[in-house]
């Protein structure tokens, strides 16, 4: 969770610096090229948006510790609203930051140097630029690998609920849960 938050903040800061250093003319030309809404690319954004929001499906495990279950709907709605807003912010900043948009958004950082607006050529190697580039490029891998324990617990709990009670009684809930 902390790596997700840290990387998200890093992406937003880097793109904000790029937008600010590129100046209003570059941003205005990118905005003019994109337009207010490009409905032709709606289908391209629909799948990744659903996938990104679907990654929040483990919210049920996060709702279990709530004292008052009557607030679960509000908490779930707030979590999805915050996640959607974060994705929208990154998408808007990405659209205004780059002239060419790579369909695999993280690959836009493959040429990040940390010099000038972040993507300008450096006279020498910039260790901070390399570290930022690696953090952002490796983030999808780290994010997927870190999600496996939570997914495993969710699937294991679902399997446990479907186990016949005579087996759970025979082996005990702790052993049965471990087997799931």
pLDDT at 99 over 70: yes
- Specify the higher pLDDT residue, 82 or 58: 82
36 pLDDT more than 80: no
Inter-residue contact 49 to 87 (CB < 8 Å): yes
pTM above 0.85, yes or no: no
| 119 closest CA partner among 89, 140, 99, 91 | 99
How does residue 57 score in pLDDT terms, banded at 50, 70 and 90? low
Q: Which of 51-60, 137-146, 147-156, 169-178 has the lowest mean pLDDT?
A: 51-60
Pick the more confident residue, 65 or 46.
Answer: 65
Residues 6+ apart with CB under 8 A from 151: 58
């Amino acid at each position: 969770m902390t790596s997700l938050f840290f990387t998200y903040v890093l992406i937003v800061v880097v793109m904000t610096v790029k937008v600010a250093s590129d100046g209003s003319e570059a941003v205005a030309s990118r905005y003019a090229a994109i337009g207010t809404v490009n409905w032709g690319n709606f289908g391209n954004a629909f799948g990744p948006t659903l996938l990104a929001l679907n990654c929040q499906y483990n919210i049920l495990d996060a709702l279990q510790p709530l004292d008052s279950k009557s607030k679960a709907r509000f908490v779930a709605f707030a979590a999805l609203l915050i996640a959607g807003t974060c994705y929208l912010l990154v998408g808007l900043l990405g659209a205004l930051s780059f002239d060419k948009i790579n369909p695999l958004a993280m690959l836009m950082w493959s040429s990040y140097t940390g010099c000038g607006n972040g993507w300008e050529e450096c006279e020498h190697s910039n260790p901070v630029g390399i570290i930022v580039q690696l953090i952002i490029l490796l983030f999808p891998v780290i994010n997927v690998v870190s999600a496996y324990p939570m997914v495993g617990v969710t699937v294991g709990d679902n399997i446990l609920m479907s186990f016949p009670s005579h087996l759970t009684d025979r082996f005990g809930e702790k052993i049965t849960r471990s087997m799931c």
